[in-house]
């Protein structure tokens, strides 16, 4: 009996399905790693949620660790690399550049399922030193370098006052990570405190940091309120 050839349309559909499969696996992996935890998630569960056989998963990602690395690379590493390229060619002020970087991060990470990566790292990375090293090399060090370069740009152009680059990068990152962790903890729980508008918090954070970084005129007292009170008490 001769086999019936596939129609061109069926072949195209199958090809599109094959090309989409790695992304479907990454999406399924991220969902499950956030829901159940990385250690508790089995590879066959990821395959089942993506609608493929376990063997198919291993064709693309030979281990669960490699799958998580791919999730991190796609959602965080690539975005950081884009930001680094933007710093090299941006023509506006450094305040505008920093605002763009922070708002883009929230739009593409904090306000998406990718924000769950922070939950995975914070809760489980201690058990997986290989993943910890990968995350350090792919995310932590590059993002600190990106923010440090951005702030140094402002200092060199006379827009920002001199500050510790290492410290300011942590100041910039901390609320972003907190908002992401809140989203996947109390934000996902029926028992929680006051409602938080994460986007407004991020905008307020950017505004406050920029006000602290911008160079002020000679007539403006740059001493913080606490320092002013101490100075007055010594007189």
| Domains of the chain as residue ranges with CATH | 7-62 (1.10.10.60), 65-234 (1.10.357.10)
| Average pLDDT in the chain | 86
Q: Is the C-alpha dihedral spanning 11, 16, 22, 25 positive or negative?
A: negative
Q: DSSP states of 128-175 as a string?
A: -HHHHHHHIIIIIHHHHHHHHHHHHHHHHTTSB----HHHHHHHHHHH
> Over 70: is that where the pLDDT of 218 sits?
no
- Looking at per-residue pLDDT, the higher value among 3 and 205 belongs to 205
- List, in sequence order, the alpha helices (H) in 40-158: 43-50, 54-60, 64-72, 78-89, 94-105, 116-124, 129-135, 141-156
∠ Cα 195 200 203 (to 5°) = 150
User: What is the tens place of the pLDDT at every residue in 4-49?
Assistant: 555 554 454 455 456 668 999 999 999 999 999 999 999 999 999 9
Q: Which of the 8 DSSP states describes residue 42?
A: -
Give the tens place of pLDDT for each residue, 150-163: 999 999 999 999 99
Q: Could you tell me the pLDDT band of residue 69, with boundaries at 50, 70 and 90?
A: very high
Calpha distance 34→114 (Å, rounded): 9
Beta carbons of 142 and 85 less than 8 angstroms apart:
no
CA distances from residue 119 to 89, 115, 185 in whole angstroms, order as listed = 33, 8, 9
Per-residue confidence (pLDDT) for residue 122, from 0 to 100: 93
pLDDT of 91 above 50: yes
Query: For the ranges 18-22, 78-82, 129-133, 206-210, which has the lowest average pLDDT?
Result: 18-22
pLDDT of residue 117 exceeding 70, the answer is yes
Distance CA 96, CA 82 (A): 16
pLDDT of residue 21: 85
Query: pLDDT band at 227, cuts 50/70/90?
Result: very low
């Amino acid at each position: 009996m001769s086999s019936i050839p596939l129609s061109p349309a069926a072949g195209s559909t199958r090809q599109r399905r094959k090309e989409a499969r790695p992304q479907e696996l990454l999406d399924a992996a991220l969902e499950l790693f956030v829901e159940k935890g990385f250690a508790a998630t089995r590879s066959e569960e990821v395959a089942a949620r993506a609608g493929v056989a376990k063997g198919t998963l291993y064709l693309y990602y030979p281990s669960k660790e490699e799958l998580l690395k791919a999730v991190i690379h796609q959602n965080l590493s690539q975005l950081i690399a884009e930001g680094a390229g933007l710093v090299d060619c941006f023509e506006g002020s450094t305040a505008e550049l920093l605002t763009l970087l922070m708002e883009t991060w929230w739009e593409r990470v904090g306000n998406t399922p990718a924000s769950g990566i922070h939950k995975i790292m914070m809760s489980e990375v201690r058990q997986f030193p290989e993943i910890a090293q990968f995350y350090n090399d792919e995310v932590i060090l590059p993002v600190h370098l990106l923010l440090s370069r951005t702030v140094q740009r402002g200092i060199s152009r006379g827009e920002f006052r001199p500050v510790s680059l290492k410290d300011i990068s942590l100041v910039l990152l901390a609320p972003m990570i907190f908002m992401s962790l809140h989203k996947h903890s109390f934000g996902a729980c029926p028992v929680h405190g006051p409602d938080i508008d994460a986007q407004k918090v991020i905008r307020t954070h950017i505004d406050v940091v920029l006000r602290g970084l911008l160079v002020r005129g000679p007539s403006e007292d740059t001493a913080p309120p606490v320092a002013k009170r101490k100075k007055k008490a010594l007189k």
